[in-house]
Structure 1
Amino acid sequence: MTTFATLLYDLDTASGILTITVNRPDKLNALNAATIEDIGTAFGQAQADAKVRGILLTGSGEKAFVAGADIVELAGLDVLAARRAAERGQEIFGRIEAGAKPVIAAVNGFALGGGCELAMACHMRVASSTARFGQPEVNLGLIPGYGGTQRLAQLVGKGKAIELLLTADMVKADQALSLGLVNHVVPQAELLDFCRQLLTRILGKAPLAVGLCLDSVNAYYDQQRHGYQTEAEGFARCFASDDFKEGTTAFLEKRQAAFTGN
């Protein structure tokens, strides 16, 4: 198993829940190139590991989930390097979003810039009451580069996304909830337990069906795919699965289903 310089990787084999923690507390967990590569490697490893059933992503400490990009590193990029960095970040964050295993971002503090983009790439977001969200790139003469302009509009709507992008306003947790940017807001001390409980509920469902739900929703936002067609194909695929047979049999027999993911 790979070890990481910028992340903690902790798999609870009993539950199948993997906790990935961005671990640069002295930098408020800011993203640099090495951290983004570690995130890509960690999620690739998790998707390939049958023991991993769901993923919880958070930040080290209580101040920040990820407070943004490493500005010192960004300031040293030229135009070509900046384009490559944006494309690489988009690719890695896109793989998180496209993964078949559910990912919850446990946002424990500031999620700004690249941190907000990383949280939005996860399938769900749960925020502590002290969390703050924002895309402040225009304050630096920049725009988001890791998919933020696209996912923010998907989550909160075009008009509000444009307002937040152009003003660089920071959004408190309760406002993020009302906008649809996060799914739940809980006290800081309850954040990780709440996320584990939510993942545990999801992991009690048929794994193939869970993955196909994620794929079908993502297809709606992908210009290269047809969402309704993807849904129909996924629906049909379920009928060939052992989990469908088990799920329907368990329902008729009035017992709890024992899904295997096959």
Structure 2
Amino acid sequence: MFTGMTDLGLRLTVDGPVARVVLDRPEVRNAQTPAMWRALADFGTALPAEVRVVVVSGEGPSFSAGLDRKLIMGEPVDGEEPLLTLGAKPAAEVHETIAGFQAGFSWLRRPEIVSIAAVQGHAVGAGFQLALACDLRVVTPDAKFSMREPALGLVPDLGGTQPLVQLVGYSRALEICATSRWVEADEALQLGLANIVVPAEELADTVKDLSEALLTPLAGAVRETKALLLGAADRSYEEQLKAEREAQTRRLSELLAAFG
């Protein structure tokens, strides 16, 4: 087992095929900072090859209240510049900086892992986008999602826009983002944002059971299936058929090598 504690408000662990990311700043509802995003990107890059499932959760009653409010309001946090100072920098530098932020989220979409967000309480802004970066979301009845960036004059820029549209459709995604309203657990389940809603006392066991179920099939089969599903919306039907043929050919070859 690998266990990592950071002074940035993260607990990062790897135990065989399961890795865990715990946001650990409960005193500020697990508000996030760019330093946390960079640490998450490094963790994703360094994951051992045997990791197949990643569980993301928050310590305490909230998943994450989003970007630390001090950074939004113009105060530095742990040496991090306030967000608005980026507006004075050249566009290329801003793009590079935001790309670094996005890397803390995008690795959760990689085909070789299946990621699960265990969401209780608030999932706001960056917290909502972190949950959206995961493949699956198990939520408690008090879970509340909100995309607050537009209310602050900003856009969601941590990779959340595409999975939101894929899950709920363009029209509903626009309405959720443009109004910055709350989406509570029951509606999240109805819209497809949540896979399942469970009582708070069952959250950990449900995520454990789901993790074990995801580990049952052969890793290559899950990897190829996730890749097929991720790319399906961008392919024509004929292109998807071709992608399926190619993926199955690889699987048959791997199975023959392993068991033939």
Shorter-chain TM-score tier:
0.7 to 0.9
**1:211 is aligned to 2:223:** yes
Alpha-carbon RMSD = 2.3
Partner Cα separation in structure 1 for residue 194 and residue 31 of structure 2? 21
DSSP-derived class of the 1:65 partner: coil
Partner Cα separation in structure 1 for residue 256 and residue 88 of structure 2? 50
1:199 shift after superposition: 1.1
Aligned to 2:44: 43
Partner Cα separation in structure 2 for residue 222 and residue 244 of structure 1? 32
DSSP-derived class of the 2:56 partner: strand
Aligned to 1:179: 191
Aligned to 2:78: none
Alignment of 1:147-162 (within 5 A): 147-162=159-174
Aligned to 2:76: none
Cα distance change, pair 65–221 in 1 and its aligned pair in 2 (3 A): farther
- Alpha-carbon displacement from aligned partner over 1:190-211 (angstroms, at most 9, x marks no partner): 1111011011011011111001
Alignment of 1:92-171 (within 5 A): 92-171=104-183
Cα distance change, pair 79–182 in 1 and its aligned pair in 2 (3 A): farther
Q: Is the 1:105–1:122 contact (alpha carbons within 8 Å) kept by the matching residues of 2?
A: yes
Q: Which runs of 5+ in 1 are unaligned?
A: 250-262
1:138 shift after superposition: 1.6
DSSP-derived class of the 1:31 partner: coil
Match of residue 212, structure 2, among 196, 200, 207: 200
**1:53 is aligned to 2:52:** yes
Aligned to 2:6: 4
Letter in 2 for 1:10: T
Q: Is the 1:17–1:196 contact (alpha carbons within 8 Å) kept by the matching residues of 2?
A: no
Cα distance change, pair 218–244 in 1 and its aligned pair in 2 (3 A): farther
Partner Cα separation in structure 1 for residue 256 and residue 188 of structure 2? 36
1:42 shift after superposition: 1.7
Cα distance change, pair 161–174 in 1 and its aligned pair in 2 (3 A): same
Aligned to 1:65: 63
Aligned residues: 240
Letter in 1 for 2:83: L
Aligned to 1:18: 19
Partner Cα separation in structure 2 for residue 151 and residue 133 of structure 1? 14
Letter in 1 for 2:10: L
TM-score normalised according to structure 2 size: 0.84
Match of residue 77, structure 1, among 86, 94, 99: 86
Q: Is the 2:129–2:159 contact (alpha carbons within 8 Å) kept by the matching residues of 1?
A: yes
Match of residue 254, structure 2, among 226, 232, 241: 241
Partner Cα separation in structure 1 for residue 203 and residue 240 of structure 2? 33
- Alpha-carbon displacement from aligned partner over 1:164-197 (angstroms, at most 9, x marks no partner): 1111111001100000011011111111110110
DSSP-derived class of the 1:176 partner: helix
Q: Is the 2:52–2:112 contact (alpha carbons within 8 Å) kept by the matching residues of 1?
A: no
- Alpha-carbon displacement from aligned partner over 1:50-82 (angstroms, at most 9, x marks no partner): 2x33111111112x2121112413244325465
Q: Percent identity?
A: 31
Aligned to 1:191: 203
1:219 shift after superposition: 1.7
DSSP-derived class of the 1:100 partner: coil
- Alpha-carbon displacement from aligned partner over 1:99-141 (angstroms, at most 9, x marks no partner): 4111111112211111111111111111111111110112111
Higher mean alpha-carbon deviation, 177-186 vs 64-73, is at 64-73
DSSP-derived class of the 2:57 partner: strand
Aligned to 1:88: 100
Partner Cα separation in structure 1 for residue 186 and residue 96 of structure 2? 35
Cα distance change, pair 235–79 in 1 and its aligned pair in 2 (3 A): farther
Q: Is the 1:126–1:182 contact (alpha carbons within 8 Å) kept by the matching residues of 2?
A: yes
Q: Is the 2:123–2:145 contact (alpha carbons within 8 Å) kept by the matching residues of 1?
A: yes
**1:230 is aligned to 2:230:** no
